[in-house]
Structure 1
Amino acid sequence: MPHTSTESESRKLLGRLRDALADDSAGQTRLDRITELIAGSMQTEVCSIYLFRDPETLELCATRGLKPEAVHKTRMRLGEGLVGRVARKGRVINTADAPATRGFRYMPETGEERYSSFLGVPIQRLGENLGVLVVQSKTAREYSEDEVYGLEVVAMVLAEMTELGAFIGEGAALSARHQQPVMIKGTVGQEGTAEGQVWLHEPRVVVTNPIAEDPEAETKRLTDAIEQLRASVDDMLDGHKNADKDQREVLETYRMFAHSRGWLRRMCQDIERGLSAEAAVEKEQSAARTRLQNAPDAYMRERLTDLDDLSRRLLRILTGQGRETGAEMPKNPILVARNIGPGELLDYGRSLKGIVLEQGSVGSHAAIVARALAIPLVVHARDIIAEALNGDPILVDGEQGIVHLRPEENIVAAFRDKMAMQAKAQERYAGLRDQPARTLCGSVIELTMNAGLMADLPSLASSGAEGVGLFRTELQFLARSKVPRRGDLAALYLRVLNAADGKPVTFRTLDIGSDKVLPYMKRPEEPNPALGWRAIRVGLDKKGIMRMQNQALIRAAVGRPLRVMFPFIAQFDEFREARQMLLDEIERERKLGHDLPTDLKIGAMLETPSLVFAPHQFYDMADFISIGGNDLKQFFFAADRENERVRRRYDTLNVSFLTLIGTIVARCREAGTPVSFCGEDAGRPVEALCFAAMGLRSLSMRPASIGPIKHLLRRVNLDEARAVIEMSRAAGVQSVRADVTEWLGQAMARAPAN
């Protein structure tokens, strides 16, 4: 395949590669043969294949033209040399003067002469970088577009065959994919532990026939599949004729991609080069990923999701793989997905034992639902989609954000011991269910639970919670394709109150915005959504939705007390306006002759430092205040809780943050306003102890945390804990964690059993 190569020459090379891959040889022998075939076809002195040994290291795994002894010895870091740059950027480098090209690195250990020409193309599959394919020659020339294109097609085939395990075995260049144990460190989305088997939300389509002999037949297969795809997209659009303008725009964009002539033309060209229809789809999907991931336009980057979805749909049509294969969900399913919406997750319900997401976030829709369902969740689990197969054994440690895929026996044994200890502890906590959280110094701490679904309410009795300190009302909005009706919401809120059986329930009004975006509401372009148009700001601007929700709450609470809390209040006027809107609806219901709640309490979530220093009239007017710890902490430290680089730098038990908590408690005590702490930290033993020591007498947490927190509080003296905190403060330490933890160990050792 010289620089005047043709499509037929490309097909000839692919035919020879297919024969080499079909040969019953070891993986290394196959790789060596491939480099010989490519070098001979392209008439170059050197052809080399570099593959990733780990995410940061490339290794020379086969070569024709360099020293054979350099194979498996020469390694380079990602981004190092021209090969490393190809791997990092996922882009072709084609130069006639390699030594003069930025980033060039000469590797004398390979016997590499000063080859002038260099062409490197990434070996990648659906955005996953597997390595780099390189050809070099002494003649100073740039390779032609045909040659570059042909080498990209070859790299695509290598990626597919790598996925199928063609290069493993004795003397292998690679270890077997999908057979080795893998440990992935992610981020805690919801605490808890689970053991089970992988259930892929979108099963990975495996292309087993990357090379095809009959371009006409493959082109027909592709065009038939495209027609089927377009028909399904058109049907989907017809089914949303009544959608609002924003929804229609999204769907029209989706249809535009499906009908793209350029997309089809490029795939047909790939087939002419010798690829199968399936391989052509994947090649264009990988190329689009490379283009759009680096696009400066945020809108175009977001369209990557549309293209990925269309490509997956097309591959499922071509291969018959996917959900339609009839595969049965395992008995202990651990859901593995790139990302997932709240509606889809609710469809799975409590059948799931755990969830692992490659993307997601600790505040995402999925995390909210996972917490509501008490399902362990790990997010940011990098490469889990590429590594996992349906049915793989998997362990999810939601306490540390770790996932063990195909774990070794010693890991399984240690994990099961941990789960058994947790189960035994829960049995012990069950005996405290009806006992108060009374400390040794006589203080009583109210422990309530967070909820967001009807499915949460049985935990109210089993956990020993004294009420629902936070009922998230946004899940009913997030899980629907349009605004829920007032009657439906009123019926739901009534069922919640009935299930609470007289225990208090605090309803938080709609908390959307930031990363919680309604599917039927246009998402505003904001540089920092966490500080943008969200929560009460949306409610005060979209008064119709807020009035409708207030009416639903009032009508559900007829004959019962009603507690309503407004989220993300940043200044007194916002609370005053929101409160008046609720009171106006009470008056309206009275004038209509409707029955009213027997008692109304209106409170605010304190999630911004500004509200700590609000006028005293705010504290007087609020019937209660709930500290929203998750947001308050990120704003106090100016540390995005979705950003691992900064989130872990700041400790909840930092002296400054505890001083802020103490200030809030003092202002509420002065006004006679009840105050509680709501958030993940309320369910962590050392944090809960310090909050109680700072004067908080009410904590709201996930149901599973109530037992451990009650067990701890009943065995400590808060006066002693407060003294330790004050000593740490006087000593000038940044965080009281170490001192409190040391004291707590001693206190628990001498405490009576409870």
Structure 2
Amino acid sequence: MSDSFKTDSRQMLGRLRAVMAEDAGGQTRLDQITRLIAEEMHTEVCSIYLFRDEDTLELCATEGLKAEAVHQTRMKLGEGLVGRVARSGEVINTDNAPAAKGFRFMPETGEEAYSSFAGVPVQRLGEKLGVLVVQSKQARLFSDEEIYALEVVAMVLAEMAELGAFVGEGAAMSARHSQAVLFRGSCGQEGAAQGHVWLHEPRVVVTNPIAEDPARELERLHEAVEALRVGVDRMLSSAKGGEKEHLDVLEAYRMFANSKGWMRRMEGNIDSGLSAEAAVEKEQSAARARMSQVSDAYLRERLHDLDDLSNRLLRILTGQGHETGAEMPADPILVARNIGPAELLDYGRALKGIVLEEGAVGSHAAIVARALAIPLIIHAARVTTEALNGDLILVDGDQGIAHLRPDDSVVSAFRDKMAMQAQAQERYASIRDKPAKTLCGAHIKLKMNAGLMADLPSLESSGAEGVGLFRTELQFLIRNHMPKRAELSELYARVMDAAKDQRVVFRTLDIGSDKVLPYMKATDEPNPAMGWRAIRVGLDKPGVMRMQLQALIRAARGRPLTIMFPFVAQRDEFTAARAEMDKALERERILGHPIPEVIEVGAMLETPSLAFAPDSFYSEVDFLSVGGNDLKQFFFAADRENERVRRRYDTLNVSFLNFLEGIVYRCATLDTPLSFCGEDAGRPVEAACLAAIGFRTLSMRPASIGPVKSVLRRIDLGELRDVIHAERSVGAQSVRPAVMEYLRGKL
């Protein structure tokens, strides 16, 4: 490259700082920036394209193209070379643009046949904001130094856009974080809530992307990195003697914190003219870009470690975070990429709703959200980059939708919906103490699911007839160490005390699949939902099972005790688990502890195989509970965490109802008590059909008991059974349409 084309990024940033210091409008600033970049890069054209919506780029400023094309020329994501840069987030550098894949000639801009093209993404931590382009008639590839200079400038542009430096007319130049945004995610927990955003991890805002004194910025970086290293060493020292996996993560942190390559790249960014904060963020953006392209789970995890370290370093440099004294609003809606059960429990019932970018319907966070009856939306892409603390947000958990900064008409309609739900709750409260008795005289027992002490007040307020499922794994998941037997015994005793004389079904530890204990070595399985989990873990690790069974026996203090083993697939698993129960009872008897006056030991039917177990199994168990969530996904071979398939298969599919009815018949014939537990038990239409085919006990979240009871009290199960049979006889795939028609006439 000849000296005439040499570009000094520090000089260019110095001129850029001067432009930003001027008192000018957003459009004027962009126009000046394109002019100075073209001059510094020795090119005929410099253009800045910004996103006006998720799929459309708009030409917002240019030097060298027609001025009248500004705000008029638009292109879709992936269209032309500019669209390719925007879609991939990668640089395109070519000395023969017309021959490059995807090239699109734009005559409306007055564009001539420019040979050289360099486009770099304008993005901030993975959030794509636009594309910076330079073009030249002379056929040449831009040097690595020139591309680096463009990347540095593009990053500064992203930071300035975040701070509102380019606000002007039109959607592409509207103020950041001011527009109404609709997020379509998935339902993690039903319910509706209105409140204000509280970010679990607040955005770090870099207010000084350009360095005035590089030597001072290097000093600040070194001081912050040293503070980071000391912090990591302190965490590592306090974790000594803990679980190996936790130590491995901290060792990886220390490795990155002491990485000379990481430090050298950040120092190079400062040398190019960036501030310490911007230098860290530029390297963090590069790591996130690499993370999005890596398929290897181990490497992705290491890049995630680096991302987390960068966040810690940025908070040290800026002093930003919750430690700054920001107060949580009175009606907080928690917004986060993801969150663990312990962190969520720390917030407790103060939260009005939760919106996550990631998560899963069976995740720890979803389980806790259901226990606390907090509306939850998962898979809300980009919500953490759009939301700011204090923004008004509406959460519609029923539809998996969140409205951020909604307009008045949306707020009004949403409040009407909440008012209607409140009226319905008043109606349900009026029948709280009445039985779920159908018009034909059948009494359906409605029980509640629980997993926390916080659930137990709902036993009385919901009108539930006992606890059909108490999830014991939550007490294991929210700790960073294995709970002691005495701790568990005390908790289980408090649960039984709170339930008074009502029956509580304690499900033994159901871990594995999506429920991985933080202090237990994770197993890399291709299909964890069908892998080493639940009773399989218990039988392979009998020490943990025995400890939990002893805790339950001691908690009973001689009172009746009901225990259920999860994920039983064949008879010998239940037989082995029951043998462990007998050993625990004998041990407690020898130690002189009181033995439960009555003990029931049952199993969850979650695998199709158990439906075909020998009659002797049905006689051996004291009761069975159909675990509808898992059973349905295995029956239809549809992963319930996979959004592409989980909604394709209907509970009211005739084949699934036939299967369930076969289980009901076997249990009735062999006199085995049976219940149905899961999300479908809490959906009024599905619950009515389950009752119609013979289930007399349903277990659900407390908030569902009122709606289900309201429907059951208005229908005749014989009539509904006839509707189901009629649909079967004509070969219908699902009975839902006919059932809905029947219910419309009754409700």
Give the TM-score range, shorter chain: over 0.9
* Distance in 2 of aligned mates of 1:171 and 1:614: 66
Map of 1:675-754 to 2, 5 A cutoff? 675-748=674-747
Instruction: Answer whether contact 2:211 2:274 (CA < 8 A) is retained.
Output: yes
Gaps of 5+ in 1: 749-754
* Distance in 1 of aligned mates of 2:168 and 2:90: 30
Report the CA distance between 1:6 and its aligned residue: 6.6
* Distance in 2 of aligned mates of 1:640 and 1:389: 34
Instruction: Answer whether contact 1:28 1:172 (CA < 8 A) is retained.
Output: no
What's 1:387 paired with?
386
* Distance in 1 of aligned mates of 2:102 and 2:148: 23
1:502 has 2:506 as partner: no
Greater mean deviation of Cα atoms: 28-37 or 63-72: 63-72
What's 1:273 paired with?
272
Which residue type is aligned with residue 462 of structure 2? S
Secondary structure, in 3 states, of the residue corresponding to 2:746?
A: helix
Report the CA distance between 1:445 and its aligned residue: 0.3
What's 1:198 paired with?
197
Q: Sequence identity, in percent? A: 71
1:459 has 2:458 as partner: yes
Greater mean deviation of Cα atoms: 376-385 or 289-298: 289-298
Map of 1:233-272 to 2, 5 A cutoff? 233-272=232-271
1:57 has 2:46 as partner: no
Aligned length: 747
Structure 1, residues 128-148: CA drift from partner, whole Å, max 9, x if none? 111111112122221111111
Report the CA distance between 1:3 and its aligned residue: 6.9
Secondary structure, in 3 states, of the residue corresponding to 2:522?
A: coil
Question: Kindly tell me: are residues 382 and 172 of structure 1, through their superposed partners in 2, closer, same or farther at Cα, counting changes over 3 Å?
Answer: closer
Gaps of 5+ in 2: none
Which residue type is aligned with residue 593 of structure 1? G
Which residue type is aligned with residue 604 of structure 1? A
Question: Kindly tell me: are residues 19 and 115 of structure 1, through their superposed partners in 2, closer, same or farther at Cα, counting changes over 3 Å?
Answer: same
CA RMSD of aligned residues (A): 1.6
* Distance in 1 of aligned mates of 2:381 and 2:93: 31
Report the CA distance between 1:23 and its aligned residue: 2.4
* Distance in 2 of aligned mates of 1:733 and 1:108: 58
Structure 1, residues 509-542: CA drift from partner, whole Å, max 9, x if none? 1111111111101111112221221111111111
Which residue type is aligned with residue 586 of structure 1? L
Which residue type is aligned with residue 703 of structure 2? A
Report the CA distance between 1:59 and its aligned residue: 2.1
* Distance in 2 of aligned mates of 1:72 and 1:734: 52
Report the CA distance between 1:65 and its aligned residue: 2.2
Question: Kindly tell me: are residues 70 and 228 of structure 1, through their superposed partners in 2, closer, same or farther at Cα, counting changes over 3 Å?
Answer: same
Which residue type is aligned with residue 129 of structure 2? L
Secondary structure, in 3 states, of the residue corresponding to 1:303?
A: helix
1:166 has 2:152 as partner: no
Instruction: Answer whether contact 2:291 2:304 (CA < 8 A) is retained.
Output: no
Map of 1:1-16 to 2, 5 A cutoff? 9-16=8-15
Instruction: Answer whether contact 2:52 2:171 (CA < 8 A) is retained.
Output: no
What's 2:135 paired with?
136
What's 1:751 paired with?
none
What's 2:309 paired with?
310
What's 1:183 paired with?
182
Structure 1, residues 394-444: CA drift from partner, whole Å, max 9, x if none? 111111111111121222222222212222221221221221101001111
Greater mean deviation of Cα atoms: 104-113 or 727-736: 104-113
What's 1:752 paired with?
none
Question: Kindly tell me: are residues 250 and 407 of structure 1, through their superposed partners in 2, closer, same or farther at Cα, counting changes over 3 Å?
Answer: same
Report the CA distance between 1:46 and its aligned residue: 1.7
Greater mean deviation of Cα atoms: 697-706 or 116-125: 116-125
Report the CA distance between 1:238 and its aligned residue: 0.7
Greater mean deviation of Cα atoms: 179-188 or 725-734: 725-734
Instruction: Answer whether contact 2:58 2:172 (CA < 8 A) is retained.
Output: no
Structure 1, residues 711-733: CA drift from partner, whole Å, max 9, x if none? 11011001111111112222222
Secondary structure, in 3 states, of the residue corresponding to 2:649?
A: coil
* Distance in 2 of aligned mates of 1:6 and 1:259: 34
Instruction: Answer whether contact 1:28 1:171 (CA < 8 A) is retained.
Output: no
* Distance in 2 of aligned mates of 1:735 and 1:281: 56
Question: Kindly tell me: are residues 77 and 613 of structure 1, through their superposed partners in 2, closer, same or farther at Cα, counting changes over 3 Å?
Answer: farther
Secondary structure, in 3 states, of the residue corresponding to 1:296?
A: coil
Structure 1, residues 610-659: CA drift from partner, whole Å, max 9, x if none? 22222222222111111111111111112121222211211221111111
Question: Kindly tell me: are residues 5 and 292 of structure 1, through their superposed partners in 2, closer, same or farther at Cα, counting changes over 3 Å?
Answer: farther
Instruction: Answer whether contact 1:651 1:735 (CA < 8 A) is retained.
Output: yes
Report the CA distance between 1:173 and its aligned residue: 4.2
* Distance in 2 of aligned mates of 1:208 and 1:445: 62
* Distance in 1 of aligned mates of 2:2 and 2:370: 60
What's 1:560 paired with?
559
Secondary structure, in 3 states, of the residue corresponding to 2:140?
A: coil
* Distance in 2 of aligned mates of 1:619 and 1:230: 60
Which residue type is aligned with residue 352 of structure 1? L
* Distance in 2 of aligned mates of 1:620 and 1:82: 70
Instruction: Answer whether contact 2:52 2:172 (CA < 8 A) is retained.
Output: no
Which residue type is aligned with residue 702 of structure 1? R
Secondary structure, in 3 states, of the residue corresponding to 1:522?
A: coil
What's 2:355 paired with?
356
Instruction: Answer whether contact 2:26 2:167 (CA < 8 A) is retained.
Output: yes
* Distance in 2 of aligned mates of 1:718 and 1:204: 54
Instruction: Answer whether contact 1:27 1:172 (CA < 8 A) is retained.
Output: no
Query: What's the TM-score once normalised by structure 2's chain length?
Result: 0.97
Question: Kindly tell me: are residues 172 and 356 of structure 1, through their superposed partners in 2, closer, same or farther at Cα, counting changes over 3 Å?
Answer: closer
Greater mean deviation of Cα atoms: 14-23 or 515-524: 14-23
* Distance in 1 of aligned mates of 2:432 and 2:170: 61
What's 1:231 paired with?
230
Secondary structure, in 3 states, of the residue corresponding to 1:568?
A: coil
Which residue type is aligned with residue 693 of structure 1? A
Map of 1:283-298 to 2, 5 A cutoff? 283-298=282-297
Question: Kindly tell me: are residues 275 and 675 of structure 1, through their superposed partners in 2, closer, same or farther at Cα, counting changes over 3 Å?
Answer: same
Structure 1, residues 553-582: CA drift from partner, whole Å, max 9, x if none? 111112211111111112222222112211
* Distance in 2 of aligned mates of 1:720 and 1:276: 74
Report the CA distance between 1:232 and its aligned residue: 0.8
Instruction: Answer whether contact 1:26 1:172 (CA < 8 A) is retained.
Output: no
Secondary structure, in 3 states, of the residue corresponding to 2:16?
A: helix
Structure 1, residues 367-417: CA drift from partner, whole Å, max 9, x if none? 111111111111111111111111111111111111111121222222222
Greater mean deviation of Cα atoms: 513-522 or 165-174: 165-174
Question: Kindly tell me: are residues 246 and 444 of structure 1, through their superposed partners in 2, closer, same or farther at Cα, counting changes over 3 Å?
Answer: same
Secondary structure, in 3 states, of the residue corresponding to 1:290?
A: helix
Question: Kindly tell me: are residues 173 and 741 of structure 1, through their superposed partners in 2, closer, same or farther at Cα, counting changes over 3 Å?
Answer: closer
Instruction: Answer whether contact 1:183 1:405 (CA < 8 A) is retained.
Output: yes
